[in-house]
Amino acid sequence: MANTTTDTVMKTLSEIFAIWGYPHKLVSDNGPPFQSIEFKNVCTKCSIVHCPTPARHPESNGFAERAVQLAKKALNKISLDLEKKETQDEFSFSVQVNNFLFNYRNTPSTVTGKSPNELLLSFRPRTNLSILNPKFQTPSGTSNFSMFREGDRVTVRISNASLVEGIVVRQLGIGSPLYLISVAGTFKRVHAIQLSHAPLKC
């Protein structure tokens, strides 16, 4: 942030809240913005518990201090690497910073066993590791549309009033909502929402 005035801090917090919603608890130092009437009113209105740290005791905000320390080390390393390569343009710097953030946010913690992104987003983002190893792929993105298997007898809704029976040939891609269905000797590409399992014949 260019400055830490109350207006700037409140604007930044409102942008964060617009994306992620209101937190249960907010830990801060004792800076003037966090002592302002505006900030206290927002905390009261949004049921946010404000926990200011003791004065001159940065250890109380250890998570944030640790994150700052990691970021500083990464930035120093990036700057040194770019000096060696003699490519100190803004684009190269931004790419290196984004690579650091990508790796940091998607590396599992030894405490929780999950990455920051996984905890925040409630799903495991795709990374090079998940692409190479199916064990680390997130099933949540595919489960909704993977309810039909090859050879399943299904009812296909062609239009609002037209239902026909068919057989699943295959799913058109992992996690895809599209299926190739055999209907009366012809093949049709249909969406999963047009399908339902055909009733069992006795």
Domain count, the chain: 2
Residue 10 lies in a domain: yes
pLDDT > 80? residue 59? no
Give the per-residue pLDDT at 167. Answer: 93
Residue 191 lies in a domain: yes
Q: 53 or 36: which carries more pLDDT confidence?
A: 36
The per-residue pLDDT for range 122-179, each reduced to its tens digit, is 888 888 887 787 666 655 444 455 688 899 999 998 776 678 899 999 988 877 888 9
Residue 113 lies in a domain: no
Structure token pair of residue 181: 């269905």
CATH code for the domain of 152: 2.30.30
Residue 84 lies in a domain: no
Residue 68 lies in a domain: no
Q: Are 148 and 179 spatial neighbours (Cβ–Cβ below 8 Å)?
A: yes
Q: Cα separation of 200 and 26, whole Å?
A: 56
Residue 16 lies in a domain: yes
Residue 81 lies in a domain: no
Residue 12 lies in a domain: yes
Residues across the chain: 202
What mean pLDDT is predicted for residues 102-118?
Answer: 89
> What H or E segment, with its residue span, contains residue 180?
strand 178-183
Q: Domain range holding 158? A: 144-197
How many angstroms separate the Cα of 109 from the Cα of each of 103, 114, 119, 129? 12, 6, 10, 16
The per-residue pLDDT for range 62-72, each reduced to its tens digit, is 777 888 899 99
Instruction: State phi, psi for 153 to the nearest 5 degrees.
Output: -85, 125
